[in-house]
Amino acid sequence: DGGITQSPKYLFRKEGQNVTLSCEQNLNHDAMYWYRQDPGQGLRLIYYSQIVNDFQKGDIAEGYSVSREKKESFPLTVTSAQKNPTAFYLCASSTGGRNQPQHFGDGTRLSIL
Amino acid sequence: AQSVTQLGSHVSVSEGALVLLRCNYSSSVPPYLFWYVQYPNQGLQLLLKYTTGATLVKGINGFEAEFKKSETSFHLTKPSAHMSDAAEYFCAVTNAGKSTFGDGTTLTVKP
């Protein structure tokens, strides 16, 4: 079955550490997205990529970095510059068309030790 | 610019009662609108979408939504709530492949 796989499901970070969240899709979608979800705040866009080797900052990109070297993969690094990283992170993909929905992974919950 | 407002962060209904979740949008271009559902510790799943054409859109699990341009609304309804409908619901507007989501409405269904 086609879909989006996020790993790990739960992740713990020590102060001052960078951590990388994995997102892989086998839907042959061009566009991929990273969102942060906090209680009562909906989804906020961190970064998105509409094509391989290109990506754009979303609304809350500070303290995060991404790469898009392969169509299937869009890893997110939460750097030590992100002062409040505890959240639920969702990866999504779509064909990129304006009228197309996004398909979501099951998320990674990041917590600070 | 685009934005979404979901009125009511929490809605509680009895099993068998009508479900109404409200969504108003703002968009500088004709909008493409979506409703998604999220169960605890999972990602979002598409319920239904409005692109063009018929303003009453039917989705999965008996949900439907009506696009009203004059009211800039896209409210989600279901005639009879089921216990399994308890979840968080998100309205979204999409333009140029980028989506803006509302803050979500948590639906509780009482037996």
Contact of A4 with chain B, judged by CB distance below 8 Å, is answered with yes
| Cβ neighbours for A26, distance < 8 A, ≥ 6 positions apart | A2, A3, A72
pLDDT digits (tens, 9 = 90+) for A70-79: 999 999 999 9
Neighboring chain B residues of A104 at a CB cutoff of 8 Å: 36, 43-45
The predicted pLDDT at position A1 comes to 66
Compare CB distances from B43 to A31, A100, A105 and report the shortest one's residue: A105
The sign of the torsion formed by the CA atoms of A88, A93, A98, A100 equals negative
* Pairwise CA distance, residues A92 & A31, whole Å: 8
Check whether A53 has a pLDDT greater than 70: yes
Cα A36–Cα A38–Cα A40 angle in degrees, nearest 5: 130
The percent of residues in chain A predicted with pLDDT above 90, rounded, is 78
Contact of A10 with chain B, judged by CB distance below 8 Å, is answered with no
Mean pLDDT of chain B: 93
Contact of A42 with chain B, judged by CB distance below 8 Å, is answered with yes
pLDDT digits (tens, 9 = 90+) for B16-45: 999 999 999 998 778 899 999 999 889 999
Q: Which residue is listed with tokens 């996020």?
A: A6
- Mutate which: A11, A102, A104, A108, vs B, most B CBs within 10 A: A102
Check whether B7 has a pLDDT greater than 70: yes
Contact of A47 with chain B, judged by CB distance below 8 Å, is answered with no
Closest Cα of chain B to A18: distance in Å?
Answer: 23
